[in-house]
Amino acid sequence: MKYKRLTKEQFEELHAEFSTFLASQSIDKGEWDTIKLEKPEVAEQELDVFSDLIWEGVLNNTSYLEHFSKSHVFLFHSQEKHIQSIVLKALESTVDFMNKEGLQWLSENMFTDQVEIHLGKKEYETDRNSAIFKLITEGAILSDGQLYLQINGIIQS
């Protein structure tokens, strides 16, 4: 398994897709029930293969990620060969970007000496999707990129 198995809730959400996946392997509901009972290791393998397929699709379509911590905001733009980052760091120790007030403080103090802004660019050490998946397992979430694009646009001008 390249990534990680989907949760029970995720499998329930993707029930129709999983049925199509099984059908593509000529496995109907009756046969699937038999496999689960008589060959649980085969059923586990099918769940893992399906999970990897879903993750691969999600990661292929991921361009932006965000990760918020108490004093930092990490914004990522994933490209084909490298990933670019914008890191915002609050120098005010009482600020907490994990709550609404902290984000309001950031919008008011973004370009003051209370916020450090660091730009970065890094070539992928592994394949692109594995690098993105690692960021997700470390707490990053998929994003529409609005915050990255907005801040990058201001910095570049």
Parent domain of 29: 8-60
- Please tell me what DSSP assigns to residue 5: P
**Is residue 100 included in any domain, yes or no?**
yes
Residue at a domain's end among 44, 60, 76 = 60
Percentage of the chain surpassing pLDDT 90? 94
Do 41 and 75 fall within a single domain? no
| pLDDT tens by residue, 43-54 | 999 999 999 999
**Is residue 3 included in any domain, yes or no?**
no
**Is residue 88 included in any domain, yes or no?**
yes
Give me 67's structure tokens: 């990760």
Mean predicted confidence (pLDDT) in 6-34? 94
- Nearest residue to 50 via CA among 21, 25, 30: 21
Rounded CA gap, 147 and 123, in Å?
A: 22
The predicted pLDDT at position 38 comes to 95
Give me 104's structure tokens: 């309001």
Q: Tell me the pLDDT band of 154, cut-offs 50, 70 and 90.
A: confident
- Amino acid making up residue 77: H
